[in-house]
Amino acid sequence: MDAAGGGNAPSAAGAGSGQTTLLDIENVSLSFGGVKAITDISFDIRAGEVRAIIGPNGAGKTSMLNVINGFYHPQEGAITWKGQRRSRMRPHEAAASGIARTFQNVALFKGMSTLDNVMSGRSLKMHRGLFWQMVHVGPARREEIAHRRRVEEIIDFLEIAHIRKKPVGKLSYGLQKRVELGRAMAMEPELLLLDEPMAGMNLEEKEDMSRFILDLAREFGTTIALIEHDMGVVMDLADRVVVLDYGKKIADGTPTEVQSNQDVIDAYLGVAR
């Protein structure tokens, strides 16, 4: 690996088996005023696995991701991250500790180019002082170059080299989603949270995105938690699936187990209750 350090896979060697628990969520509840978004949910994410979170609209999936990366703080329950119980971790602290994410409605820096967006994912990894960055010589220059090299690798991996210099606001939705994934990848996270990575994409774009996610998990060993509505995609990608409905967990297991679970079928088909 180059001087940028680490590569994308802190856990690449040992985590293939997916036995160690990376993130453990115990009895978490979250409410906004009187509205309960999440009620008493427990599940875990193991190192190296692809974990899908599915459920009908309004089931609390995105709230769950927001809890994991610190946008929301649950009123009850405990979150254990890398073996340590954490309390009220703020989003930028979560990012620093190895949690990256993408958003349901693409949250990119629209005025900046693809390259700058992906580069912004490296912001936590740059250490040279301000002055040196401004004069752009010596160690700061070498550091910038090392980061650029890593970023270019990611851009090549995601096949977005042709739009490197374009402002992302002008790109198609599918490409924006890809740039957003690139920015999260640039953080070299241990846990990557993807909120509907395929939403609004056509079949071809979905296939590309699935390939990137699988490569990320298998080749780089990044642990991934993703929310997705396309069941075909979920069944193909996920090692384990947790199903939410009305803020409660209704099933947890391998894709085939979940698929045949009566509660899940009811939730999706809308049985009268």
Partner 1 sequence: MELLHAIFVAPFVDMFTLPAFLLQVLWEGFVSGVLYALIALGFVLIFKASGVFNFAQGIMVVFAALVLVGLHAMGLPAWLALLATIGVMGLFAISVERFVLRKLVNQPDAILLMATIGLTLIVKGAGQLFFGADTKSMITEELGLPTGSSVWEVFDDIVIFQHIDIAAAVIAILMVAALGVFFSRTRIGRALRAVADDHQAALSVGISLNQIWAIVWFASGIVALVTGIMWGARSDVSFALEIIALKALAVLILGGFTSIPGAIVGGLLVGIGEKLAEVYWGPLVGGGIEAWFAYVLALVFLLFRPQGLFGERIIERV
C-beta of 104: minimal distance to partner 1 in Å?
Answer: 11
Query: Which of these ranges, 52-60, 100-108, 210-218, 232-240, lies near partner 1 under the rule CB under 8 A?
Result: 100-108
- Whether the CB-CB separation of 166 and 109 falls below 8 Å is answered with no
Nearest residue (CB) to partner 1, 92 versus 218: 92
Q: Give the one residue of 46, 101, 150, 206 binding partner 1; rule: CB under 8 A.
A: 101
Q: How many CB atoms lie within 10 A of CB 8?
A: 21
Which of 20, 39, 113, 133 touches partner 1 by CB under 8 A?
Answer: 133
Going residue by residue from 53 to 92, which x/- string records binding to partner 1, judged by CB under 8 A? ----------------x-x------------------xxx
Least distance from partner 1 to the Cβ atom of residue 102, Å: 8
The angle formed by the CA atoms of residues 190, 179 and 91, to the nearest 5 degrees, is 45
Q: Dig out the tokens for 217 from the structure.
A: 């998990």
| Alpha carbons 191 and 72: distance in angstroms, whole number | 17
CA separation for the pair 261, 229 (Å, rounded):
17
Give the relative orientation of helices 138-157 and 173-186 as an angle to the nearest 10 degrees. 130
- Check residue 38 and give left, alpha or beta (phi > 0: left; psi -120 to 50: alpha): beta
Residue 172 CB, shortest distance to partner 1, in Å, is 17
- Give me the residues that bind partner 1 (CB under 8 A), please: 69, 71, 90-92, 95-96, 100-101, 103, 107-112, 116, 119-121, 123-124, 126, 130, 133-134, 136, 183-184, 187
